[in-house]
Structure 1
Amino acid sequence: MPHHSRLSTLVLDCRVDDLREGAEFWSKALGKPVASLDQDGDGRYAELETAADEPVILLQKVGHDSRVHLDIETDDIEAEAARLEALGARKIAFVKRWWVMEAPTGHRFCVVRQQREPFGPHLNRWE
C-alpha cells in the first residue's frame, strides 16, 4: 500500500534545565517568534512559529549532549520505518508514538505521525 512522507521538523536537542533561554535565543537568531514555551505541558518542548510551507522548529529538553536532529512525518509510521530500514537505517527505539532511527552515517532522526493538515508541499509518495 502506498504511503507518504516529508521532512517535518528540525529538532534542537537542548541539554538544559529550562528551555526558555534557548527558545528566546533561537527565536531572535532565526527571526521566528516563540509559538510555545511548553508545547506538551511537560516542560520538555518549546516551538518557534513557522509558516505552513516551512519545517517546524522544535526545541526539546534532553539528557544527552545538545545536537540537532530531523523528524520525517508520514501517514504510515511502520511503512516509512521499513522503507528507511531497506535503505540502511536501523530502528533504535519506539518512543510514545514515533520511531527513533539511525542513518548509516550515524545520525539519529525520528519517524513521526503526520504533523500538519494538509500535508502541504514537498510530499513524497512511496509505493
Structure 2
Amino acid sequence: MHHSRLCTLVLDCKVDDLAESTAFWSRALGKPVGNPDSDGDGRYAELETAEDEPIILLQRVEHESRVHLDIETDDVQAEAERLEALGAKKIAFRHGRWWVMEAPSGHRFCVVRRQREAFGPHLNRWD
C-alpha cells in the first residue's frame, strides 16, 4: 500500500533570469513570492500557497516553456509502476529521487517524494 496526491504545478520557464517570470506569475495568480531562489543558484522559485493548495514552483529550463504536474508519494517506485500500468511511460529517474514520466497523451509529469510534512486532504490510498 502507498499514498499519492497532486502536489505541485511547475511552470517550466525557458529564460536566462527567473526573477521576471516569478514576478509576473506572482501578480497574475495573486500569490506572493515565497522564495525567489529556492536552491541558491537561480533555478527554482516558489510562490506562497496555502497548505491545502498545490505548491506553485517556477523552474528555469533549457527546453521550451510549459507547465507540468508533480505527484507526491510516500513510495516513488510503487507510484511510478502504478502509473506505468495505466499507460504512462518512465522517461528518466533523476538524481535517484524522482521519475520523469509521460502520460499516454504525451504530457510530461514527475513522481516525487512527499514535499510537505503532512499529506493533508485529497490523499489517494493505493493497495
Matches within 5 A, 1:1-127: 2-96=1-95, 97-127=97-127
Q: Percent identity?
A: 79
- Displacement of 1:41 after TM fit? 1.4
Is the partner of 2:57 in helix, strand or coil?
strand
RMSD: 0.5
Is the partner of 1:4 in helix, strand or coil?
strand
Q: Deviations over 1:18-70 (max 9, x none)?
A: 11000000000000000111101121100000000000000000000000000
- Displacement of 1:95 after TM fit? 1.1
- Distance in 1 (CA, whole Å) between partners of 2:84 and 2:41 is 31
Residues matched between the structures, number: 126
- Distance in 1 (CA, whole Å) between partners of 2:43 and 2:94 is 14
* Structure 2 unaligned residues grouped into runs of 5+: none
Paired amino acid for 1:118: A
* Structure 1 unaligned residues grouped into runs of 5+: none
Q: Normalized against structure 1, the TM-score is what?
A: 0.98
Paired amino acid for 2:120: G
Q: Structure 1: which 4+ aligned runs deviate by more than 3 Å?
A: none
- Distance in 2 (CA, whole Å) between partners of 1:72 and 1:107 is 13
Is the partner of 1:94 in helix, strand or coil?
strand
Q: Deviations over 1:76-123 (max 9, x none)?
A: 000000000000001000112110000000000000000011101000
Q: Normalized against structure 2, the TM-score is what?
A: 0.98
- Distance in 2 (CA, whole Å) between partners of 1:95 and 1:114 is 15
